[in-house]
Amino acid sequence: MEYCEQGDLLCFIEDNKVIIQRPKECHLPLYYSLVRDIVRGIQRMHSLNFIHRDIKPNNIFLKKVRGRLVAKIGDFDHTRELDENMTRSGIGTNEFNSPEIYLRKDYDLSTDIFSLGVTLLYMFAGAYPFKFHNLNITFSKLAEKEKPDIQSIIEPCGELPDFLSQEVRDMIHSMVSF
């Protein structure tokens, strides 16, 4: 993996919370550029039939390339070629996992998309999409039912900042919806 001297996306989010939640017009191209880089990285992995299974801000690294801040996906410890044997294994980071992973239900490449949606929601709104603040309670509520109603514990992204275009809002909503 190449060296990314600008740290990870989590540090960037924490260091720039005020800027992210109240950006100047000139900052939006940077954020959209980072999102584009992340989406392209996931798209490339998926085109090769690989699933990351741990997309989160700590695993997205930043570096300068020709004066531009670029996002790179890293930490491929949990990345595997998608096959039938691993589609029920619990892996990754709870806050960013899709409910299917936590509940050890069948999952596919869309689990990375869910994790990306949670990452973007955290990046732009500083929040997770779960109604309960304690993830153990949240996922226990899911596990209590034989056929859990996932929508009953997933909020439709809460309040995304007004500066985001409707297209970006819709994209994030669709990523964390079922």
Give the residue numbers marked as catalytic: 54
Question: Which among 94, 89, 126 is positioned nearest to 108, based on CA atoms?
Answer: 89
Cβ burial, residue 51 (10 Å; 0-12/13-18/19+): buried
Token duo for residue 90? 């619990």
- Phi-psi region at 176: left, alpha or beta (left = phi > 0; alpha = psi -120 to 50): alpha
DSSP codes of every residue in 8-60: BHHHHHHHTHHHHHS--GGGHHHHHHHHHHHHHHHHHHHHTTEE-S--SGGGE
